[in-house]
Chains A and B, each alone.
Chain A
Amino acid sequence: NAGVTQTPKFQVLKTGQSMTLQCAQDMNHEYMSWYRQDPGMGLRLIHYSVGAGITDQGEVPNGYNVSRSTTEDFPLRLLSAAPSQTSVYFCASSSTGIDTGELFFGEGSRLTVL
């Protein structure tokens, strides 16, 4: 099992460009989520999904869109990148939702917006 796979691992964008961070999991987890981690700060929840066709906002959703058309995939879209979105992004999934608190994380995607 690959677990949670994120692509790309690194990306540089110019202000105003759009892009999609991909996240796929092969564990048949219903719950998936996206976090961002800024330097010196903890991870903050952007969006999450409790199953295919269901998404909801986290703590810092502005500037991001998500969709969940399949159980396996949960892409994160930046509509018009801004320097404030420079961060490391983590995708995480769980078989039990957030109830047990056990999230399985991807390796992270480092995004720089110039």
Chain B
Amino acid sequence: AQRVTQPEKLLSVFKGAPVELKCNYSYSGSPELFWYVQYSRQRLQLLLRHISRESIKGFTADLNKGETSFHLKKPFAQEEDSAMYYCALRWGEGLTFGEGTQLTVNP
């Protein structure tokens, strides 16, 4: 069965520091992975998808099939990045989400 694991429930960094949110997956098929974000008092929304190889709000994520990982990175964190981040894996006609990582960026 498919599975997504985010090993850090909480992550705290200072403004301007690099940040990396870890995501590992297990899936027998060809993986399609996504990062979702939920800012305070807002709805869950798509941040980026691996297939687009895009940078959104300074965040990037690279799919590493050898390590079955899809870590989210940003070189210089901003206070407005504070939010809950979820890694998600497509399977069939749905997504499987990880447990989420609460990122706090301190001033």
* Residues of A that sit less than 8 Å from B by CB: 3-4, 31, 33, 35, 40-45, 48, 50, 56, 58-59, 90, 92, 97-98, 100-107
Contacts and interface: CB of A to CB of B under 8 A. Distances in A.
Interface in B44-81: 44-46, 49
A73 B4 CA distance: 30
A43 B43 CA distance: 14
Contact of B94 (A40, A48, A106, A107): A48
B90 A98 contact: yes
Contacts of B90: 98, 101
B77 to A, nearest CB: 23
23 contacts: A3-B43, A4-B43, A31-B93, A42-B96, A42-B97, A43-B86, A43-B97, A44-B97, A45-B95, A45-B96, A50-B93, A59-B94, A59-B96, A92-B44, A97-B93, A100-B49, A101-B34, A101-B88, A102-B46, A103-B46, A104-B45, A105-B43, A105-B44
Contacts of B32: 101
Interface residues of B, number: 22
B94 A42 contact: no
Contacts of B97: 35, 42-44
B99 interface: yes
Nearest to A46: B94
Contacts of A92: 44
B44 A42 contact: no
B94 A45 contact: yes
Given A45-B94, A58-B94, A101 B46 contact: yes
B43 A42 contact: no
Nearest to B9: A40
B43 A106 contact: yes
A42 B86 contact: yes
